[in-house]
């Protein structure tokens, strides 16, 4: 991971996974964006889950896949 924008309120690393905490209040129909900048260590297909939850643990999981090609 290179950068996370906006800056998280909390950051934890557990079992090789990163967890970022944000506290942002939204009204219905409002949105909040998070930008992750990554740097690949080697070529290949990389995949994983991005999980988002509320304080009451309502969970949404999004699977993502990135292909890194040789320069």
What's the number of CA atoms in the CB half-sphere (13 Å) around residue 59?
Answer: 6
- Asked whether residue 27 is domain-assigned, the answer is no
- The string of pLDDT tens digits covering residues 9-19 is 999 998 888 88
DSSP H/E element including 71: none
28 in any annotated domain? no
Number of domain units in the chain: 1
pLDDT tens by residue, 24-52? 888 999 998 999 888 888 999 999 888 88
State the residue range of the domain holding 49: 3-22+33-68
pTM, two decimal places:
0.68
């Amino acid at each position: 991971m290179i950068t996370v924008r906006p800056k998280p309120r909390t950051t934890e690393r557990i079992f090789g996974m990163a967890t970022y905490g944000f506290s942002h209040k939204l009204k219905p129909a409002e949105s909040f964006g998070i930008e992750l900048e990554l740097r690949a260590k080697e070529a290949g297909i990389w995949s994983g889950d991005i999980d988002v939850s509320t304080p009451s643990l309502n969970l949404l999981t999004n699977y993502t896949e990135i292909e890194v090609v040789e320069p």
